[in-house]
Amino acid sequence: MAQSTETTDWVSRFADEVIEESERRAPGKPVVVASGLSPSGPIHLGNLREVMTPHLVADEIRRRGHEVRHLISWDDYDRYRKVPNGVPGTDASWAEHIGRPLTAVPAPQGSPYPNWAEHFKAAMVEALAEMGVEFDGISQTEQYTSGVYREQILHAMKHRGDIDAILDQYRTKKAPAKKQQSQKPLDEAELEAAEGSGAAAEDDGTGSAGYFPYKPYCGDCGKDLTTVTAYDDDTTELTYTCAECAFSETVRLSEFNRGKLVWKVDWPMRWAYEGVVFEPSGVDHSSPGSSFQVGGRIVGGIFGGKQPIGPMYAFVGISGMAKMSSSKGGVPTPGDALKIMEPQLLRWLYARRRPNQSFKIAFDQEIQRLYDEWDKLAGKVADGTALPGDVAAHARAVGTAAGELPRTPRPMAYRTLASVADITAGAEDQTLRILSELDPADPITSLDEVRPRLDRAEAWINTQVPADQRTVVRAEADTDLLKSLDDQGRASLRLLLDGLDTHWSLDGLTHLVYGVPKVQAGFPADAGPKELPAEIKVAQRTFFALLYHLLVGRDTGPRLPTLLLAVGQERVRKLLGE
Ligand SMILES: [Zn+2]
């Protein structure tokens, strides 16, 4: 078992609080933390915080040797609210299922899964497994349709007047406008992510015949457009009518399993039923009258339970997701992120920020800088110079209480791997040749040494970098440009060409390309910045631009040492006019 990280980062502080609270509420019992996810469509990457916040806390509790359950409630018995845009294998005809439980809606065409909810759940389950997230999944369809919550439902119906009175205190308050932390308007996908689990707009059970916290799915059309018209507490006989198909029937709630408590009652019922001690929720739950706040009143007042410790977590944004690249309907999913980054990096993004801090997950060039930062941290952790909070975040990222996640044996810089993938377009023999030349003293001998990071960098280049930003090495030398060079230009190329043989490694070529303008200006090639005039920077930029033009026909490109290695010495000599 992994060691506890003896620090005071946010995860550790929540773990202290949760363990203490759990001991107070249920001495000697496993600690219970929870997340809720609605498989109403592709599960947005932004919703991963709903899982990662309790996961990290649960993992710390586990590292300390306590027994802990992380429940993920799949809200798959919620109504199908709308047909999400652009999901492959679906069309407008799915609209006929609106109002049915998500598990009663057919999966997109071609899916191996039995229904809509299972189809979208499966992608999330796969991503969570890759990230090392251990959880107990609970299908609300299974729970409700097998009568697990029978007692709680009958209890809620019996106390419907009390529930109505609690809800009424919030109904009279003017519903506050939905406020977001960011100033810019959110797009539809972001709004869906912010909305999170639980149908925010679902009605609370008020009908013309009075207040009932339970809603049956219709016995004929299967939809929830039903209204309870009568209920007898003694016999538990319930009568409802359906607005969709005019069906009506009387059932006995003591043996009826095709319906559910309304969301604002369902959530606190489950807190009490499962004994949840920690369950965070999105910022949209922080307003008075939100389901988290109202749930706090209902769980104590009706179900005799307690509200979990529930931090509000801030929005997680996405930067630069290429519009067309998402696998499912333009919504970035955790699976999409894991195609371009290793699970360690994604875990680190969540571990290093407190839940109330918002951050962005980079699909654009920023991912290269993020990886540089991550590698630098790993170096500091290895040599013992990292700060305690950073060490903790690193430890939470690279593994769990169950052990380390599989890692890339030789974590070469992501930006280098991306450049090589860019230039070679994935040709394996060429990739191996280039990568083995990066460090001739200790060459890699198999691409497996740099996997899976290489695969992620390749996927990033192929799915996120637009065609006009890709690097295309010139097929023939640019003779016009070569002929137009002055003496200075020609001499700089000569110096470079003469040094290629002896400098053919990543470090060597770095030294060489920066050194050429220094030597031309009469300084030693290894002169430091303090010994050099400011003009040398201008000369270096001019020289680099010339090399980019001769090699790839543009002003910029991948870092020159990487580019030179990737192009190969023979071809470099040809393109530089030798
Ligand atoms: Zn009906």
Domain range annotation of the chain = 1-324, 414-469, 479-575
pLDDT in tens, 96-131: 999 999 999 999 999 999 999 999 999 999 999 999
CA of 260 to the centre of ligand 1 (A): 16
Q: Give the per-residue pLDDT at 322.
A: 61
The pLDDT of residue 303 is: 97
Question: CATH says 479-575 is which class?
Answer: mainly alpha
Ligand 1 center–CA 161 separation, angstroms:
27
Within 13 A of 421's CA, how many CA atoms are on the CB side? 24
C-alpha 79 to ligand 1 mean position (Å) = 14
Residue in the structure block whose two tokens are 């975040």 = 393
Tens of pLDDT, residue by residue over 433-469, are: 999 988 889 999 999 999 999 999 999 999 999 888 8
Question: How far apart, in whole angstroms, are the C-alpha atoms of residue 147 and residue 150?
Answer: 5
Q: Report CA-CA distances (Å) from 291 to 111, 262, 282, 487.
A: 34, 11, 11, 75
CATH code linked to domain 1-324: 3.40.50.620
Low-confidence ranges of the chain (pLDDT < 70): 1-7, 172-202, 322-330
- Output the CA 38–ligand 1 centroid distance in Å: 24
Specify whether the CB–CB gap between 431 and 423 falls below 8 A: no
Question: CA-CA distance, 444 to 566, in Å (whole number)?
Answer: 15
Which residues does residue 69 pair with via DSSP β-bridges, in sequence order?
A: 32
Neighbours of 316 (CB within 10 A): 25
pLDDT at 172 (0 to 100): 63
- In the prediction, which pLDDT does 208 show? 78
CA 285–ligand 1 middle distance (angstroms)? 32
pTM, rounded to two decimals: 0.89
Cross-strand bridge partners of residue 546: none
Peptide bond into 452 cis (omega under 30): yes
Taking the C-alpha atoms of residue 20 and residue 34, their distance in angstroms, rounded to an integer, is 17
Establish whether domains 1-324 and 479-575 are of one fold. no
* Ligand 1 centroid – CA 248 distance (Å): 8
Are 392 and 11 in contact, with CB atoms under 8 Å apart? Answer: yes
